Chain A
Amino acid sequence: MRICIWVFPVLIVCGLVCRINADQTARTERISGSAGDVLDDDPTGRLKVYVYELPSKYNKKLLQKDPRCLNHMFAAEIYMHRFLLSSPVRTLNPEEADWFYTPIYITCDLTPTGLPLPFKSPRMMRSAIQLISSKWPYWNRTEGADHFFVVPHDFGACFHYQEEKAIERGILPLLQRATLVQTFGQRNHVCLNEGSITIPPYAPPQKMQAHLIPQETPRSIFVYFRGLFYDVNNDPEGGYYARGARAAVWENFKDNALFDISTDHPTTYYEDMQRAIFCLCPLGWAPWSPRLVEAVVFGCIPIIIADDIVLPFADAIPWEEIGVFVAEEDVPNLDTILTSIPPEVILRKQRLLANPSMKSAMMFPQPTQPGDAFHQILNGLARKLPHKKNIYLKSGEKLLNWTAGPVGDLKPW
């Protein structure tokens, strides 16, 4: 009896404490992906990266020729180089390095309108690999299995912007054993190797921070999207662009007041996203898009319409719980799907999005901040350690075919 008398007040106290804690954490929720609560991990001390010294024709000269490379959505490769040069994980002793980084700005060949041309990229990559394999012994030691490359272009290391041609080319044969850090991710696709790290596209952090509006502004737009539905220049008939999904969104919902969708380019684009509950992130010519980053930063639940897409840092971030995945064939029923989500689930997704570690994991800020995308890349690399013993080749063993691939690739750069 005495014990019962004590148990009751103890339970009350516990209940009160739990309620207080629940109130305090009501605004955000902890994010734990399949790899655990790894967004806040600090990679310093868990891995060592050696940065090759390549001649400036592979990096600095390209940037000098066209400084626009710093602002487009593939700029992650440049900022990654700068980050690694001054990061505590960098080691100047290659013998103790776990990972080797090749600073090559492979997408910095822009047309006058700012789109990157991938035609010289395979040759540039081959030339760089030839250089590092002849000057340092570490490439030949493992044939690149402990090297990583940042290839943020449309279809990663397939080096083409058209999906059919990219599939034809496949990943550059020399990069088959290396770890690729890329924005493209689609399951069962030629251009995504197992063990690749998917990263978000680069979105300028200062620009996004400059357009923040007060948090108490009520979210009154139900679904928001700005962008093309038909690409009349490259796909006049329709049906190719976005596999017809964007056109389906337009045809089904153009007169629906809940869907604020159009092809405008408003100056209040970022502010509008902060006033919306759902933001559409459909595929375009490639499945990934900077809209995902913008939606996460502005607290708008992303609706991802891209079959089999692999989202950034998929092992650290539980995207299923944060965004809404809609199959491309279910697009005509998008309104039914969205309105049938229970409000508690929507509020939970918003709480997950409000977590500051989630927002910082999607951005590439300068100067670097703890938990940002650079650190998540390093965390991903650290999770792949220790290397398996079988990546080290016995002497004379050769696994890569240096003459594979289209003939045009073999020309020196």
Chain B
Amino acid sequence: MKLSALQPSNMNRRNNSFRGSAPLDSSSDGSIKSPSAIFWLILHGLCCLISLVLGYRFSRLVFFFLFSTSATNLYTSPFRSAADLSQTLNFNSNPIVIPELPFNRTAATTTTTAAATTSSSRVVVGRHGIRIRPWPHPNPDEVMKAHRIIERVQMEQRLQFGVKNPKTVIAVTPTYVRTFQTLHLTGVMHSLMLVPYDLVWIVVEAGGVTNETSSVLAKSGLRIIHVGFDQRMPNSWEGRHRLETKMRLHALRIVKEEKMDGIVMFADDSNMHSSELFDEIQNVKWVGAVSVGILAHSSETDESSVSVIEKKEDGENPSMPVQGPACNASNQLVGWHTFNSKPYSGKSATYIGDRAIVLPRKLEWAGFMLNSRLFWKDAEEKPELVKDLDSLDGVDEDIESPLSLLKDISVVEPLGSCGRQVLLWWLRVEARADSKFPSGWIVDPPLEITVPSKRTPWPDAPPELPSNEKVAVGVQEHIVKHSPKTRTPRSKRSSRSKRKHDTKIVDTQLPMRHSEQN
């Protein structure tokens, strides 16, 4: 006890010599009472000594780890002594700096008392601790709350600056069961799940409604009308395009019968839609068109075909052809950019799954949006723009694009700053028609065939070295190493000599090493 009582007074004396101002003694003497204070003083002294030896980073590190957020007294009056500072867990514990601080503090106090105009400020100049809470990592509850705040702010932004009275989006997707259906359909599904407006998704499936498609669609939580179409999807691209057109017309008939109100857009299942597209189509009055980027790639583009394409389109953007409305300088619709399929003639794919470029039509359905009221039988204020759907039932001609549905093409409204923005991309990627894939993409039961790998990834397996036949012969009996994964040419000898052991002992160990050990 005596020693411990002596030590704080020693500390005081040391600090006193630095300070040299009498009034500050009493405060320090009077406040050192509790054993925790003494403990902290001893620790402080130790840190000072260590810091003198090492340099002053040590104290900073130690106190960073020890610090808790409950320190309250960092900002009280500037009349604190160095001993008091250590009591309150302040890590101004650099012995080189501490002597300066009281000088500064006293200087500051003299100026403030001399000025006598302001009351003592809570905020003090000088070194302060860097507060770190005990576990400085994100809290998941707060992260969720923050995301809800962000959502609410964005909703408010949409209300204020976005579209007033947003219309329902009616997305029409023709699909059928095939290898890549899950891939494509999930992509469209996720894009549609992010649409901030009301959405109805009409999925028309060739070959009838199947459980496969339904199970994919069930994960979305969207309002889905899933209907089947009685024909099977043919194997050629030409036939597929025709059938898809018929399926889309079937969906439009549903829109007409249900008297759905909104904007019809055609979301083919392998296309990619940007979220700005859904904001842009809210501006459609009756018929709108956007620019579609065509990604007509195949895995084996010829050198020759690429160079042909580049020659034709030098000066323009050579990398991606774009289909859509063409405008003049005063933003009026003057024509259409269509897909130029001449460079690909003869090299395009005919059958689904061919390893050649899949070409789009001249104008794809996906680039057009229609107000659903155009299809209602008897709506007021409906302009007579569209031929009656019933009249198209028996007709055999190929309806290439919605332009054929219109009586007058010039009423089309170009969207996306008059066709300058590409808001969706057309792509057709399919596997071979006869490719096998696990139904629902669920692998059940687990695969039975296991093929041993040629190289073992585990580090404790010994590496292979070139064989030395003579040494190997004498050492075979002693080799016990099991390594069934690799086989060496010497295995013939080893297996011959060890067949009595009837285990799959394969010699991969260095015979040199074993001979040394033995």
> Which A positions have Cβ atoms within 8 angstroms of B?
26-27, 163-164, 167-168, 170, 186-190, 214-216, 218-220, 222, 237-240, 243-244, 247-248, 251-253, 255-258, 277, 307-308, 328-329, 331-333, 335-336, 338-341, 343, 346-347, 350
Judge whether A243 and B128 touch: CB under 8 Å. yes
Flag if A218 contacts B154 (CB, 8 Å): yes
Cβ 8 A contact of B130, one of A189, A216, A248, A336? A248
Assess whether B36 is interfacial by the CB under 8 Å rule: no
Contacts of A331 in B (CB 8 A): 131
**Chain B positions within 8 Å of A188 at CB level:** 118-123
Of all chain A residues, the one with the shortest Cβ separation from B94 is: A237
Check: B111 CB closer than 8 A to any chain A CB. yes
* Residue B158 interfacial (CB < 8 Å): yes
Contact A215 B161 (CB under 8 A): yes
Check if A240 sits within 8 Å of B130, measured CB to CB.
Answer: no
Residue of B at shortest CB range from A247? B130
Given contacts A215-B161, A219-B157, A240-B127, contact A164 B108 (CB under 8 A): yes
Alpha-carbon separation in the docked complex, A243 to B90 (Å): 13
Judged by a CB distance under 8 angstroms, whether B259 is at the interface is: no
Closest 8 CB pairs of A and B: A216-B161, A332-B133, A339-B145, A188-B121, A244-B128, A239-B127, A343-B152, A218-B154
**A residues near B489, Cβ cutoff 8 Å:** none
Q: Closest B residue to A333 by CB, please name it.
A: B133
Q: Give me 20 other A-B pairs in contact (C-beta within 8 A), A258-B138, A308-B122, A333-B133 excluded.
A: A164-B125, A167-B112, A188-B118, A190-B117, A216-B158, A219-B157, A222-B149, A222-B150, A237-B60, A238-B130, A239-B130, A252-B133, A258-B142, A332-B136, A338-B146, A340-B145, A341-B149, A343-B148, A346-B152, A346-B153
B107 within 8 A of A: yes
**A307 near B123: Cβ-Cβ < 8 Å:** yes
- List the A residue with the shortest CB-CB distance to B117: A190
Contact B128 A277, beta carbon cutoff 8 Å: no
User: Inside 8 A of B313's CB, which chain A residues have their CB?
Assistant: none
Looking across the interface, which residue of chain B has its beta carbon closest to that of A169?
B111
A251–B130 CB distance below 8 A:
yes
Which residues on the A side are within 8 Å of B137 (C-beta)?
Answer: 255-256
Q: Do residues B150 and A307 form an inter-chain contact, with CB atoms below 8 A?
A: no
**CB <8 Å contact, A190 and B118:** yes
CB <8 Å contact, B160 and A167: no
Question: B115 in the interface, Cβ–Cβ < 8 Å?
Answer: yes
Chain B residues in the interface with A (C-beta under 8 A)? 56, 60, 69, 72, 74-75, 92, 94, 97, 104, 107-108, 111-112, 115, 117-123, 125-133, 136-139, 142-143, 145-146, 148-150, 152-154, 156-158, 160-162
Q: Which residues of B have CB within 8 Å of A257?
A: 138, 143
Q: Please report the C-alpha to C-alpha distance between residue A328 and residue B119 in the assembled complex, in whole angstroms.
A: 20
Residue of A nearest to B72 (CB): A329
Q: With A277-B149, A277-B150 given, is the CB distance from A167 to B119 under 8 Å?
A: no
Contact partners of B75 in chain A: CB under 8 A: 307, 329
| Distance A336 CA – B137 CA, assembled complex (angstroms) | 12
Q: List 10 A-B contacts (CB under 8 A).
A: A164-B107, A188-B119, A214-B161, A218-B157, A237-B56, A329-B131, A331-B131, A332-B132, A332-B133, A346-B149
Residues of chain B within 8 A (CB-CB) of A340 are 145
Contact of B149 among A27, A256, A329, A339 (CB under 8 A): A339
Closest-CB distance, A227 to chain B (whole angstroms): 16
Contact residues in A for B154 (Cβ distance below 8 Å) = 218-220
* Given known contacts A170-B115, A186-B123, A219-B150, A255 and B138 CB-to-CB distance under 8 angstroms: yes
Contacts of B152 in A (CB 8 A): 343, 346-347
Residues of chain B lying within 8 A (CB to CB) of residue A328: 128
Other-chain contact of B111, A168, A307, A338, A347 (Cβ < 8 Å): A168
Task: Give CA–CA (A258, B149) in the complex, Å.
Answer: 12
A170, B122: Cβ atoms closer than 8 Å: no
In the complex, what distance in Å separates the CA atom of A138 from the CA atom of B65? 62
A273, chain B: closest CB distance, angstroms: 15
Taking the nearest CB of chain B, how far is it from the CB of A237, in angstroms? Answer: 7
B59 to chain A, nearest CB (A): 10
Given the complex of chains A and B, what is the CA–CA distance between A399 and B161 in angstroms?
59
Once the chains are docked, how many angstroms separate the CA of A338 from the CA of B108?
36
Cβ distance A122 to chain B, nearest Cβ, rounded Å = 16
Question: Which of B60, B133, B161, B162 contacts A238, CB < 8 Å?
Answer: B60
Q: Which of A26, A167, A215, A238 contacts B157 (CB 8 A)?
A: A215
Given known A-B contacts A218-B157, A335-B138, A167 and B130 have beta carbons under 8 A apart: no
Most buried by A among B117, B122, B143, B153: B153
Name the CB-closest residue of A to B120.
A188
B332 CB, min distance to chain A CBs, angstroms? 24
Chain B residues with CB under 8 Å of A343's CB are 148-149, 152-153
**Of all chain B residues, which has the CB nearest A255?**
B137
Q: A238-B130, A332-B69 are in contact. Are A168 and B142 (CB under 8 A)?
A: no
* Chain A residues within 8 Å of B121, by CB: 186-189, 308
The residues of A that contact B112 with a CB separation of less than 8 Å are 167, 190
Q: Which of chain A's residues has its CB closest to B151's CB?
A: A343
Q: Are A168 and B131 in contact (CB under 8 A)?
A: no
How far is it, in angstroms, between the C-alpha of A187 and the C-alpha of B161 when the chains are bound?
A: 40
B85 to chain A, nearest CB (A): 13
Task: Knowing A167-B125, A252-B133, A256-B138 are in contact, say whether A26-B120 is a contact too (CB < 8 A).
Answer: no
Minimum Cβ distance to chain B for residue A353 (Å): 12
Q: Is the CB of A237 within 8 A of B127?
A: yes
Contact A190 B111 (CB under 8 A): yes
Distance between Cα atoms of A27 and B156 in the complex (Å): 10
Question: Do B129 and A244 touch across chains, with their CB atoms under 8 A apart?
Answer: yes
Give the distance in Å from the alpha carbon of A240 to the alpha carbon of B129 in the complex: 9
Beta-carbon contact of B146 and A339 below 8 Å = yes
Q: Are B157 and A332 in contact (CB under 8 A)?
A: no
A248 and B150: CB pair below 8 A?
A: no
Q: When the two chains form their complex, are residues A329 and B74 in contact, meaning their CB atoms are under 8 A apart?
A: yes
Minimum CB distance partner of B97 in chain A = A237
Chain A residue contacts of B157, Cβ below 8 A: 215-216, 218-219
**Docked CA distance A216–B161 (Å):** 5
CB contacts (< 8 Å) of A251 on chain B: these are: 130, 132, 136
| Pairwise interchain contact A164-B122, C-beta atoms closer than 8 A | no
Minimal Cβ-Cβ distance residue in A for B92: A239
Kindly provide the distance from the CB of A399 to the nearest chain B CB, expressed in whole angstroms: 14
Tell me the minimal C-beta distance from B21 to chain A in angstroms. Answer: 18
* Separation of A26 and B157 alpha carbons in the complex (Å): 11
Closest residue of chain A to B148 (Cβ to Cβ) is: A343
Residue of B127, B143, B146, B148 ringed by the most chain A CB atoms within 10 A: B146
A60 to chain B, nearest CB (A): 36
Q: Which residue of A lies closest to B60 (CB)?
A: A237
Which residue of chain B is the closest to A307 with respect to CB atoms?
B123
From B130, B146, B156, A244 is in contact (CB under 8 Å) with: B130
Q: How far is the CB of B154 from chain A (nearest CB, A)?
A: 4
Collect the chain B residues with CB atoms within 8 Å of residue A350's CB.
Answer: 153, 156
Contact B119 A190 (CB under 8 A): no
Chain A residues with CB under 8 Å of B132's CB are 248, 251-252, 332
Nearest CB of chain A from residue B48's CB, rounded to whole Å = 15
Residues of the B chain whose Cβ atoms lie less than 8 Å from the Cβ of A332: 69, 131-133, 136
